[in-house]
Amino acid sequence: MTSTELAHEALPQKVKRRIKRMLGPWGIFIQGFIEHPVMVGSIIPSSRYTIAKMLGPVKWDECKLFVEYGPGVGTFCRPVLERLPRDGNLIVIDTNPLYIDYLRATISDSRFTAVLGSAADVEAIVHAHGHDHADYVLSGLPFSTLPDGIGPEIAAATYRVLRPGGAFLVYQFTAAARDFMAKHFRRIDAGFELLNVLPCKLFWGWKE
């Protein structure tokens, strides 16, 4: 391969690095969306209004373990850590190594753990990190575009891993997640956040 051909082959990587330097976490987020659009719900991170409303019902003084599926570049991670008790823990799970590597490099909080894996394996992941259950599980995964069978599997595993009184917090652009949740959660509260790109539906499934 000639030097000219090598230069052309290396160009995309140079462009990616330049974009990431210019845009910071936004560059990482956009790259992840471009590479895995089916697994990333949006090209734009959630707004602060969505974050505040989604986390509003959480009883933080009772939260020892908070789990998040699809953390992206940590849009929810930092607000969760700000609210989490000192003896609490946050475990985030993502199938994209780009996001996991970024989070491990940028969040140094000892209560934080980033796991490369599937949300469907949440029970094994929670137990592997020394916990019997989760108090709250948050998800922004695009249930409407997940591969067949994965959505129901995640909903069932989430219900099992939650303690009684805990909740599955979901924000989506469609109501697909609610259909999966309804098979396990008898009580599902619903909300809507207009000040988000795109406006999104919010669901809180409570384990009674």
197 and 169, same structural domain? yes
Give the residue-averaged pLDDT of 15-27: 51
Cβ atoms within 10 Å of 12's Cβ, excluding its own: 9
Q: Can you give the residue range of the structural domain that contains 95?
A: 37-206
Give the residue-averaged pLDDT of 118-133: 98
Give Cα separations from 179 to 29, 141, 205 (angstroms).
28, 14, 11
Give residue 155's pLDDT. Answer: 97
Give residue 26's pLDDT. Answer: 53
The enclosing H or E element of 189 equals strand 187-193
Residue the block writes with tokens 């849009």:
75
92 and 105, same structural domain? yes
166 and 85, same structural domain? yes
CATH of the domain at 129: 3.40.50.150
The candidate with the shortest Cα–Cα distance to 114, out of 72, 148, 145, 143, is 72
Question: What is the 8-class DSSP label of residue 183?
Answer: T
98 and 44, same structural domain? yes
198 and 143, same structural domain? yes
Strands of the 112-116 sheet, one edge to the other: 112-116, 89-94, 65-69, 134-139, 162-172, 200-206, 187-193
* Chain-centre distance for alpha carbon 28: 15
Give residue 72's pLDDT. Answer: 87
Give the residue-averaged pLDDT of 100-121: 96
Longest distance between any two alpha carbons in the chain, whole Å: 66
Whether the pTM exceeds 0.85: the reply is no
Residue 28's pLDDT band (boundaries 50, 70, 90)? low
164 and 142, same structural domain? yes
78, 38 Cβ separation under 8 angstroms: no
Count of structural domains, the chain? 2
103 and 43, same structural domain? yes
Own/partner long-range contacts of 45-49 (Cβ < 8 Å, ≥24 apart):
45/72, 45/73, 45/75, 46/75, 46/76, 46/140, 46/171, 46/196, 46/200, 47/193, 47/195, 47/196, 47/197, 49/193, 49/195, 49/196
Q: What percent of the chain has pLDDT over 90?
A: 68
Q: Indicate if the pLDDT at residue 58 is higher than 60.
A: yes
42 and 3, same structural domain? no
Q: What's the CA gap between 138 and 191, in Å, rounded?
A: 15
Residue 8's pLDDT band (boundaries 50, 70, 90)? very low
The per-residue pLDDT for range 153-171, each reduced to its tens digit, is: 999 999 999 999 999 999 9
Residue 23's pLDDT band (boundaries 50, 70, 90)? very low
Phi, psi dihedrals of residue 202, rounded to the nearest 5°: -120, 140
Parallel, antiparallel, or unpaired for β 134-139 and 162-172?
Answer: parallel
Give residue 34's pLDDT. Answer: 53
79 and 17, same structural domain? no
Q: Indicate if the pLDDT at residue 129 is higher than 50.
A: yes
100 and 10, same structural domain? no
